[in-house]
Structure 1
């Protein structure tokens, strides 16, 4: 018998595999099959809300492609034809594969053979009959999209009708340093977003939360709205996902973080919708 899956349990080792893990995703609304390239718990950012323990700065290690293929085929067979849903006590209305999401314990585009991995996953999921009825998602901080090898992977993702969920938590330099511990400028992030949107359907995902009792500062809101005006004018990005923290952070700042109330998120979503964007809110 497995552990009951819930939106609060995103452990990458829950089924004992190296690269594959199941998630009941708030944002996807059902079963999301996660792919973890960053098995060494490394990332090129350190977001203060990150739930990965022992996170360190670095890149994904080289992948064992044979093991990745074996695990994905095994797990898809268990979900589609085995008793996975019963073992993990998945509710009846969640017993559908909403997506396969490349996410995991760090930034997946740090993988050197990123394009090859994207193609392998797409091929296996298509052979199993999961694609094209389920989504193919890359969850990324977007920081490396200017690199040709990453752009190659996005082209492959697009061939499988995939989409990018581009992390964009703050539109100020101060906010990006505070929330993401990133030295990449806001302008560089916007430029990468524009590149991503030209290569593959892209939507923004923004995590909003109360840091040290400051709530949602007006300076952050106004800067975000100004960036969205650029995005509207220069890209095809039209969808935005606002959400707040749901799981405990494993970072030193954890005790300073708190969820934002739904009414605050909804009010901000309303301001964004006035610019023409489609906005979803998850709390």
Structure 2
């Protein structure tokens, strides 16, 4: 929970921090400031179930219908408090009092929502009202699974026009079969196609979470497969902006939580160096 005085913390991304349904503020260690989250999955449903996920009572499924009028009113009100009110002084620690981004994140996969494309237009409209287009980023944090859909691809293109970014989940080298990390069946060719679709339409960062399971870090075979996959992307002209490499900052709320532990900082730094050596910038948040 957030502190009793209402201040936000980097280790607590509670979706009810502002008492709203679709919109929530967090202090993001990766963003380096305040991120305003858009939660299109208030029912805690997702088509994946990543073992490190911090969403409580996560279950399989898609989001409910979204009340777009309420979403716009909530975003408008929170941004007014952040930009024109006392929110930063009263709720945000010193050193983090800057609005960095508005992010489609929340409690499941945003692009599963039928309203996602309209929601992108809505957020763009609100950012325009506050003069924030080009001043703050619009981010989509996604597992990429819906990027085969023309409507989602068009929405991602619209995000690019608003100065947006896609953060595409790629925790391990995609292989045909079951992913133990993401708890979903994957097809390597589909992941590649979805990633290519994102990269072609909007600045895209790969988002990779590394951690130990039962005290064991990913072995050299898994790391080399991941690095080889990145190298193959670059060789074939699929060029992400870089890799957001991060570890466990907040506890998992999934059944596997007791088995997970953070990777040592030195290990993460060494992996970051290996990624950079193949030509991709890394933003490291151990």
* Separation in structure 2 between the aligned mates of residue 230 and residue 277 of structure 1, nearest angstrom: 12
Post-superposition offset of 1:14: 1.1
For the structure 1 residues 99 and 176, does the alpha-carbon distance in structure 2 shift closer, same or farther, using more than 3 Å as the test? farther
| Residue aligning to 1:227 | 229
Alignment of 1:71-82 (within 5 A): 71-82=74-85
Q: Hey, what does 1:267 align to over in structure 2?
A: 270
Offset at 1:86?
2.8
Give the TM-score taking structure 1 as reference length. 0.96
Deviates more, 1:95-104 or 1:234-243: 234-243
Q: Note if contact 2:100-2:136 (Cα within 8 Å) is conserved in structure 1.
A: yes
**How does the TM-score come out when normalised to structure 2?**
0.95
Residue of structure 1 equivalent to 2:111: 109
Residue 196 of structure 1: aligned partner: 198
Q: Which aligned pairs between 1:48-127 and structure 2 lie closer than 5 A?
A: 48-88=51-91, 90-127=92-129
Residue 2 (structure 1) shift: 4.7
- Alignment root-mean-square deviation, CA: 1.4
Name the counterpart of 1:36: 39
Q: 2:154 aligns with which of 152, 155, 164?
A: 152
Residue 178 of structure 1 is matched in structure 2 by 180
Q: Residues of 2 paired with 1:266 and 1:93: CA distance?
A: 24
Instruction: Give the superposition deviation at 1:83.
Output: 1.3
Change (3 A) 1:176 1:225: farther
* Large movers: runs of 4+ above 3 Å: 172-176
Q: For residues 175 and 281 of structure 1, do their structure 2 counterparts lie closer, same or farther at Cα, with a shift above 3 Å needed?
A: farther
SS in 1 for 2:184: coil
* Equivalent position of 1:169 in the other structure: 171
Residue aligned with 2:181, SS: helix
Three-state SS of the structure 2 residue aligned to 1:183 is strand
Q: Using the TM superposition, name which of 250-259 and 230-239 deviates more.
A: 230-239
The alignment status of 1:252 with 2:263, answered yes or no, reads: no
**Alignment partner, residue 130 of structure 2:** 128
Q: 2: distance between equivalents of 1:6 and 1:138?
A: 22
- State the 1:151 CA deviation: 0.8
Q: 8 Å contact 1:52–1:105 — kept in the other structure?
A: yes
Offset of 1:171 from its aligned partner?
0.7
Going from structure 1 to structure 2, the CA distance change for 1:279 and 1:175 (only over 3 Å counts) comes to farther
Residue 39 of structure 1: how far off its partner (Å): 0.6
Secondary structure of 2:8 counterpart? coil
Q: Does the Cα contact within 8 Å between 2:210 and 2:263 map onto a contact in 1?
A: yes
Counterpart check, 1:19 vs 2:48: no
Q: Give SS of 1:94's match.
A: coil
Whether contact under 8 Å (2:176, 2:187) holds in the other structure is: no
Separation of aligned partners in 2, 1:132 and 1:225:
33
> Who is 1:276 aligned against?
279
Cα deviation digits, residues 163-202 of structure 1 (max 9, x gap) = 1000100115489621101112233212211111001110
